[in-house]
Structure 1
Amino acid sequence: MVCSDSVSPSSPSSQITPTPNSQTATVIVSPCAACKILRRRCVDKCVLAPYFPPSEPLKFTIAHRVFGASNIIKFLQELPESQRTDAVSSMVYEANARLRDPVYGCAGAICQLQKQVNELQAQLAKAQAELVNMKCQQTSLWALIRMEMDHSPPSNTSSKSQSPEHPNSLSNYDCFIDDNNLEGSLWEPLWT
């Protein structure tokens, strides 16, 4: 399409290409994807051109199918320019979600993700509780082993020689049981 009237070279959707035979530049206007799909002329200050480039026609097709062109244009005109890019990507995302799930749209995806988060949090809490339980069992087991070691009579293997690095070890001392000291059911060793 060759247009030379009312289209400035600073338009976001126009391109200047020089012709080989003439000195003047011919302006070739490539309409934005929205105007191409709507089959209308893309004007110099088209609200849709910066957000729906000609290379992405599917983006406008999806948003147009769910929201309609006039609603998209009204919505973009009401917003400041700094927020329009985010608004367009949100509309396209919501339109994609509506096409996949016409009843719930994005809310269905959010609900599904929230359910997944809750399940993972429950699994994490269960794993943490099992870990605490195992640590308690391990502590109890060590306490029982120490109590058994404290209250059991020393075995004959404890009379082996002791190394000089461990002076508190029982292996260097001879252990005798005093028969006169049997008041309780436990034997108390006498160290000599």
Structure 2
Amino acid sequence: MAERFMEQKAQDMFRIVYACGACKIQRTKCGDNCVLAPYFPSDDPHKFLQVNKLFGTSRIVKILQDIPVEKREEGVKSMVYEASARVHDPTYGCTGEVHRLQKRVLRLQSQVEVTEADLQNVQADLVFLATGYYNAGEIKNNDESIVLEDDEDLFPF
């Protein structure tokens, strides 16, 4: 009887030492069928703490049980992202981050358009310079003529 008691105590100590992050925060025993153990390791209890603060333990378990097993990792990543976004922006959360990223994409797209227009202008200038307007050291520019010295390059770059 005492031997069985000692064996049970050793198993309980093993579970306490290696409890998942969720069970560690809740100060409960982490059983073999703990739904949260694969997704909230004991070495990162802060991860569960943030998610728990936003969703609550029972809701986290319910969400995970509603998700197919092969997609639960992505579900947990999504909950962790939402929780960390709420820490940084309590009002809008990840929606605010999505909005900021959309504005940034629009800004970058307009910069690309401006850069493409500049590139087309430079290419047009190069075509203008390379197509017969350069004749015997002389570039005809509208009404005036520019004479190049022998040591000047047409393309200084």
TM-score by length of 1: 0.59
Partner AA of 2:39 in structure 1? Y
Pairing 1:88–2:76 present: yes
Relative to its length, the structure with more helix (as a share) is 2
Give the number of the structure whose alpha-carbon radius of gyration is greater.
1
Pairing 1:65–2:57 present: no
Q: Distance in 2 between matches of 1:32 and 1:3?
A: 21
Paired residues, number: 128
Q: Which residue of 1 aligns with 2:62?
A: 74
Question: How far 1:77 sits from its partner (Å)?
Answer: 1.1
Question: Alignment identity in percent?
Answer: 43
Q: Distance in 2 between matches of 1:3 and 1:40?
A: 20
Pairing 1:29–2:15 present: yes
RMSD: 2.4
Q: Contact (CA 8 Å) 1:3, 1:29: kept in 2 or not?
A: no
Q: Which residue of 2 aligns with 1:4?
A: 8
Partner AA of 1:100 in structure 2? H
Pairing 1:110–2:98 present: yes
Partner AA of 1:104 in structure 2? Y
Question: How far 1:39 sits from its partner (Å)?
Answer: 2.2
Which segments of 5 or more consecutive residues in structure 2 lack a partner in the other structure?
A: 1-5, 139-157
Give the 3-state SS of the residue equivalent to 1:29 in structure 2. helix
* Partner deviation per Cα, 1:143-165 (whole Å, 9 max, x = no partner): 4445xx7xxxxxxxxxxxxxxxx
Q: Contact (CA 8 Å) 2:25, 2:45: kept in 1 or not?
A: yes
Q: Distance in 1 between matches of 2:87 and 2:95?
A: 13
Question: How far 1:45 sits from its partner (Å)?
Answer: 0.5
Q: Distance in 2 between matches of 1:57 and 1:83?
A: 22
* Partner deviation per Cα, 1:81-121 (whole Å, 9 max, x = no partner): 11111111110111000111011111211221221122112
* Partner deviation per Cα, 1:151-186 (whole Å, 9 max, x = no partner): xxxxxxxxxxxxxxxxxxxxxxxxxxxxxxxxxxxx
Q: Contact (CA 8 Å) 2:15, 2:29: kept in 1 or not?
A: no
Question: How far 1:130 sits from its partner (Å)?
Answer: 1.2
Partner AA of 2:72 in structure 1? R
Question: How far 1:3 sits from its partner (Å)?
Answer: 7.2
Partner AA of 1:52 in structure 2? F
Q: Distance in 2 between matches of 1:145 and 1:55?
A: 72
